[in-house]
Amino acid sequence: MDRRQLLQCMLAGTLGAVAGCSRKIDAATPADLARLDCIAQSDLVVSGALSAGELTAAAIDRINAVNPKLNAVIYQDPERAMARAATAKGPLAGVPYLIKDLNAYRDMPLTRGSKLFAELVADSQTPFTDRIDDTGLVVIGKTNTPEFGLLPSTEPLLHGATRNPWNLDHTPGGSSGGAAAAVAARLVPAAQASDGGGSIRIPASQCGLVGLKPSIGRFPDQGHGDQPWPISVKHALTLSVRDSALLLALTETTRNGQLLPVGFVEREKTQPLKIALSLTTIAGNADDDVVAAIQRTAEQLDALGHTIVPVEETPLQDEGFSRDFLVLWASGAYSAAEFVREKTGSPAEQTGLLEPATTSLASLFSSMPAGALDAALQGISAYQQRVFAFMDNYDAWLTPVTASAAPQIGFMAPDLDYDTLMERVTRFAAYTPTHNAAGTPAISVPAGLNAAGLPIGAQLSAPMGQEARLLQLAYQLEAAEPWADTLPPVHA
């Protein structure tokens, strides 16, 4: 069904009857309500069991009770949230939601995790964010993010570190770490996220959630028109596969005509697929517990009837891409540093407005020869074609999401020695940037807990435009070993 039909269907209260979408609802207590995903919460409003305002108020109570332990939500406006709930219309009317602080939401702060924008309040928002409002989701506040989303750990000096509800001494990942911690702790059933190098998939993996990075081009109006290469895309972190599928269907647009619409992907029987399995990147292998989790996921997929093909030589081992992506990454930091210099008349590192990691990346870029960015973009373009050629041989590709489970807070802090930080980041996040550069869709799904009780995620990717295939695989894994009822030690 298309988006208009889906909206009409849901407004009529019929989505709960769609195959694969029914769930027994027991919301007798606030704890029961916290366990429900978006669709189940919206069913309560449709059935009249709860009002939109009651759903929103319950989430505000959960945030007030649990967020002080996590520092996941860095801004909330409960009064306006309740006002929005009173007039909310749409298939998800009243379901509580949070927006990442890299995304503008009208009349809310837009700090981007940086002292540079500590006082900025957004006066507009993108059409993508308008569509979030159109679903009826009630935005309560903003979630924490590292400065400009540059690091895979959420420890901005402006707002302080967000803590992982599975272990408060550990990071929830980044850059959508605040969103992931909030959803994993059941403060909200889903939260908006974005991914420019793994920033949806990494925190999903670190917090035991579903994190889909859609294809580049799926959302041409998300507000990233100034990127030198289109690497970043917004979507959500969710408790369930069906919520990720629904939010994609409700917010996607086909205005540019590059990709056919996905629509709402229901769980259904799929044909056996040929799935590549790779464990090694240019930075080496992942930790043993991660490798064991991915191999176990491969065994599950094999038992589900798919063919698993171990592949040792892959684009993940392309040293040239690693260098080119660093140039692109550093160019964003350089732009921020130049903005500071133009506004203050002083070098950014002297103003204290940017973090050491950001100014170090900016300095790295400024030391590069003229034309370095153009050369890197040419390299990334060639790399994209190599990824396409590799993936033409398979229906999907299974890898780790990160090289380790969630590190301790401070392991990738923005004020670390630069060489140490870069060495750690490069190994930890080596599996995800490939799909930002190539534009291919990828999803992180829970793959169990390690011996320390920390989540590990499995990354599945597919050729351009094949989000439906990834969602179907995720549905199968979710049904084979349900994860939503496994709660972290810190939860609502």
pLDDT-based confidence at residue 17 (cuts at 50, 70, 90)? very low
| Mean local confidence (pLDDT), 27-37 | 86
pLDDT-based confidence at residue 224 (cuts at 50, 70, 90)? low
Backbone angles phi, psi at 121, to 5 degrees: -120, 130
DSSP for 44-58 reads HHHHTSS-HHHHHHH
For residues 360 and 329, the answer to whether their CB atoms sit within 8 Å is no
Tokens of 467: 């989000």
322 conformational bin, left if phi > 0, alpha if psi -120 to 50, beta if neither: alpha
Residues recorded for the chain: 492
| Catalytic, out of 42, 100, 142, 194 | 100
Q: How many CB atoms lie within 10 A of CB 463?
A: 18
pLDDT at 21 over 60: no
pLDDT-based confidence at residue 94 (cuts at 50, 70, 90)? very high
pLDDT tens digits along 338-348? 999 999 999 99
Q: Which residue has the higher pLDDT, 269 or 356?
A: 356
| Catalytic, out of 175, 240, 278, 461 | 175
Burial class, 487, CB count within 10 angstroms (exposed 0-12 / middle 13-18 / buried 19+): middle
Type of residue at 121 = V
Of residues 75, 65, 71, 60, the one with CA closest to residue 168? 71
For residues 44 and 56, the answer to whether their CB atoms sit within 8 Å is no
Q: Which residue has the tokens 């550990």?
A: 170
Of residues 165, 170, 169, the one with CA closest to residue 181? 165
Distance CA 377, CA 371 (A): 10
Sign of the Cα torsion 57, 60, 64, 67 reads positive
Tokens of 285: 């292998």
Catalytic residue flag (residue 322): no
Distance CA 36, CA 306 (A): 31
pLDDT at 9 over 80: no
pLDDT tens digits along 70-85? 999 999 999 999 999 9
Q: Which residues contact 316 (CB under 8 A, 6 or more apart)?
A: 278, 280, 281, 282, 399, 430, 431, 434
pLDDT tens digits along 179-202? 999 999 999 999 999 999 999 999
Integer angstrom CA distances of residue 79 from 52, 53, 104, 239 = 14, 11, 19, 26
pLDDT-based confidence at residue 11 (cuts at 50, 70, 90)? very low
Q: How many CB atoms lie within 10 A of CB 268?
A: 9
| Catalytic, out of 42, 114, 199, 215 | 199
C-alpha angle 241-246-251 in degrees, rounded to nearest 5: 130
Distance CA 172, CA 80 (A): 28
| Mean local confidence (pLDDT), 53-63 | 97
Catalytic residue flag (residue 199): yes
pLDDT tens digits along 98-153? 999 999 999 999 999 999 999 999 999 999 999 999 999 999 999 999 999 999 99
Catalytic residue flag (residue 175): yes
Distance CA 374, CA 181 (A): 37
| Mean local confidence (pLDDT), 353-367 | 98
pTM: 0.95
pLDDT-based confidence at residue 217 (cuts at 50, 70, 90)? confident
